[in-house]
Amino acid sequence: MDIRTIGVIGAGTMGNGIAQVCATAGFPVVITDIAQAALDRAMKAIDTSLERMVNKQKMTAADKAATLARLTISTDMKALADCDLVIEAATENIGLKQKIFSSIDAVVKSDALIASNTSSISISKLAAATKRPSQFIGMHFFNPVPVMALVELIRGMQTSDETLAAVRAVVVKIGKAPIVVRNSPGFAVNRILVPMLNEACFALGEGVATPEDIDEGMKLGCNHPIGPLALCDMIGLDVMLDVMNVFYESFKDSKYRPAPLLVEMVEAGYLGRKTGRGFYTYDKK
């Protein structure tokens, strides 16, 4: 299927980034959200982001204007009726997403494809909430979307080869690199990244090295752009703990048990940058 028009459900952090990169690549994009305020904020955020590109001479003012002109916003899901591909990036809540997917069927064309940007919910389970499970796929973008090059394409058990091919073509057209991943907890990137970060917490808790030396070790020894403990602080220790708990419960394998130090830091309310204290301390301003 040839994708010409794209819809985005949810105008938050991820939704506005996804809308921006699709519109920049030339797709007409319809963004919907339940909150008009979120849509207004999204348009402002996209305008600011594009303006930054104009200032850096990565885009002309005319291209910026054309990109903005390709964007439409609405609080009514019916505005998605003509879209060939709808990418859902609403709040991470399974009940909410299942409700969106059961009502989207009645709105979009029968041959339209549906994708979810979920980070943690089973694509096979979400696909089952639609009447077109073979036309459903996971498109896992990374934050911030305009900067990050990767999109994980998650094949649910029901996803057809045609759906994968059409969505892969969209990812290439928006200038991102697709990787194909079978539906599985954490997909590929978080499945590997988060246990590595958890291991850094184990190492620190066992007194293997100081936080600074653990981070320096991984930066200089493995060429990581940021140390694992500093990255934990950026992600949020509560988010890290939730993901480890999902892995632990899903795989029933003790190798995914959360590090005791991570658990205790969350109990103490030391969640990282957002609370001003994690493995490092931050000035709240």
Binding interface with ligand NAD (CB under 6 A) = 9-15, 32-35, 38, 89-92, 96, 100, 117-119, 141, 143
Q: Could you confirm whether 16 is annotated as catalytic?
A: no
- E-strand stretches of the chain: 6-9, 29-32, 71-74, 85-88, 113-116, 136-141, 150-155, 177-182
To ligand NAD, the closest distance from the beta carbon of 150 in angstroms equals: 11
Reference 231, options 150, 117, 143, 149; nearest CA is 143
Q: Could you confirm whether 190 is annotated as catalytic?
A: yes
- Using the minimum distance from each CB to ligand NAD, give the nearer residue, 92 or 199: 92
Which one of 16, 122, 183, 190 is the catalytic residue? 190
Reference 134, options 158, 109, 98; nearest CA is 158
- Using the minimum distance from each CB to ligand NAD, give the nearer residue, 37 or 62: 37
- Using the minimum distance from each CB to ligand NAD, give the nearer residue, 197 or 214: 197
3-state secondary structure 220-268: HHHCCCCCHHHHHHHHCHHHHHHHHHHHHHHHCCHHHCCCHHHHHHHHH
- Using the minimum distance from each CB to ligand NAD, give the nearer residue, 7 or 211: 7
To ligand NAD, the closest distance from the beta carbon of 145 in angstroms equals: 8
To ligand NAD, the closest distance from the beta carbon of 103 in angstroms equals: 9
Give dist(CA 278, CA 262) in Å, integer. Answer: 10
Give dist(CA 209, CA 263) in Å, integer. Answer: 19
Q: Could you confirm whether 117 is annotated as catalytic?
A: no
To ligand NAD, the closest distance from the beta carbon of 10 in angstroms equals: 3
To ligand NAD, the closest distance from the beta carbon of 254 in angstroms equals: 26
Which one of 16, 49, 119, 183 is the catalytic residue? 119
71-74 and 85-88: which strand pairing?
A: unpaired
- Of all residues in this chain, which one has the CB nearest to ligand NAD in the complex? 12
161 in Cβ contact with 153 (< 8 Å):
no
Cα torsion at 124, 125, 129, 131 (round to 10°)?
A: 20
Q: Could you confirm whether 212 is annotated as catalytic?
A: no
Which one of 16, 152, 183, 198 is the catalytic residue? 152
- Using the minimum distance from each CB to ligand NAD, give the nearer residue, 13 or 160: 13
Which of the residues are catalytic?
119, 140, 152, 190
